[in-house]
Amino acid sequence: MTHPDPPAIATLGEIGPRPFWSVMIPCYNRAHHLEKALASVLAQDQGPEEMQIAVVDDASTLDDPEIVVRRLAGDRVSFLRQPRNLGQFGNLNSCIERARGRWVHILHSDDVVLPGFYATLKAALASRDDIGAAYCRSATIDGNGARMRNSVPERSAPGILSGFIAMIGASNKIQTPSIVVRRSVYEKLGGFRLDLPYAADWEMWIRIAAHYPIWYEPATLAAWRVHSGSWSRITMKSGRNIADARRCIEISRSLLPREDAAAISRKARENVARLAISGAYRALLAGQFRAACCQAREGLKCGFFPRVVIRTLLLLPVRIAQGGVRRVLSGDKRQLEPAASTRLRRWESPSSPPLERGPMSEFPLKRE
């Protein structure tokens, strides 16, 4: 089966002196989070000769992010409002097109960088011409900014990740705020695919890893935010996250080493099936039985995996029961939903939600 090519990214050519960084902040109806994202960048501002900073608004309808930009940064940060909504990855591609720096950092408006992000990565990348992208260990924060957990480190010291194509091909280990990409890489490989509205970031990291070495920094220097309004939470309710992940695996198979492609793809489908079961478990505990059905249904389409089946048949009911007991003991009456069997009888096929924003891996396909 053939798939359309990714959108092309125009080359800049010779435009004179260029900054090292382009920090591009796409936003859409997130002005209350944008302030924290932008402030975290400005705290590490290296000056306009070294760092382009731009906020690109995807035609917000609920607020005006330009007010936040001007209040915090005056004219230091450029602002563009799209004349029409392009969707999450359409806006990201627009950000890349407007980037003038040699390295592009896309920072969603509800994520933040932590102290030392730009200085640490620049020290590693400034003298290297072979590296296509670099990423650091990341933290997960909640809607209020409290740290929930850190990602598992890939190695103890900074350096190039050996065999990374097999790792990223099997599971998405990268959160968007933690990665920087050389602009010339986007020019050669193209932008984010528009036919994968949930998994385009995962496909992009696989595409880059298939052509370039990837640098890793084990320090935790970026954080991505989990909150109820994120795109990932919305798509989870319809199972779109799992459906798009399966398509990403299919599209990316040709990028994998030929001798290992079948094994890597099978491992990826198993990881996505596990992700679906994890999503179904969380949805059930929240009383969202329709979402749980969607996750389970799409997960079954990944294939038959004995470990996933065992986890589903044996562990899931136990954990659901444990969750119910904990809620009763804690006195959380809001979580006491009708019996699952009753709710399941009322289940109807959901319609797909409108496309907004959020990284592919809000429920990451990686070790926890």
Mean of pLDDT values over 248-259: 96
Mean of pLDDT values over 144-162: 95
Model confidence pLDDT, tens digit, residues 168-202: 999 999 999 999 999 999 999 999 999 998 999 99
Q: For residue 194, which of 135, 238, 247, 268 has the smallest C-alpha distance?
A: 247
Model confidence pLDDT, tens digit, residues 337-357: 333 333 322 222 333 333 333
Check if the beta carbon of residue 258 is closer than 8 Å to that of residue 292.
no
Alpha helix stretches (DSSP H) within the chain: 31-42, 65-73, 88-98, 117-125, 164-170, 183-189, 200-209, 231-236, 240-252, 261-285, 289-300, 306-310, 316-330, 340-345
Give residue 288's pLDDT. 85
Assigned token pair, 33: 């989070």
Give residue 102's pLDDT. 97
Give residue 319's pLDDT. 57
CATH of domain 21-224: 3.90.550.10
> Is a pLDDT exceeding 60 seen at residue 361?
no
Give residue 354's pLDDT. 33
Give residue 105's pLDDT. 98
Model confidence pLDDT, tens digit, residues 88-114: 999 999 999 999 999 999 999 999 999
Give residue 296's pLDDT. 87
- What one-character DSSP code corresponds to residue 47? -
Assigned token pair, 275: 């992700």
Sequence spans of domains, the chain: 21-224, 233-345
Q: What is the dihedral of CA 331, 368, 279, 234, to 10 degrees?
A: 100
Give residue 306's pLDDT. 83
Give residue 232's pLDDT. 56
pLDDT tier at 285 (50, 70, 90 boundaries)?
confident
β-bridge partners, 149? 140
Q: What is the model's pTM?
A: 0.84
Whole-number Å distance between alpha carbons of 89 and 307: 34
Mean pLDDT, the chain, rounded, equals 85
How far from the centroid of its chain's Cα atoms is residue 185's Cα?
A: 19
Give residue 350's pLDDT. 31
Whole-number Å distance between alpha carbons of 245 and 169: 11
Assigned token pair, 327: 């809620």
Whole-number Å distance between alpha carbons of 67 and 307: 51
Q: Which residue has the higher pLDDT, 2 or 306?
A: 306
Model confidence pLDDT, tens digit, residues 10-66: 999 777 899 999 999 999 998 889 999 999 999 999 999 999 999 999 999 999 999
Strands 78-81, 103-106: pairing is unpaired
The upper half-sphere exposure of residue 113, i.e. CA atoms within 13 Å in the direction of its Cβ, equals: 27
Whole-number Å distance between alpha carbons of 240 and 236: 6
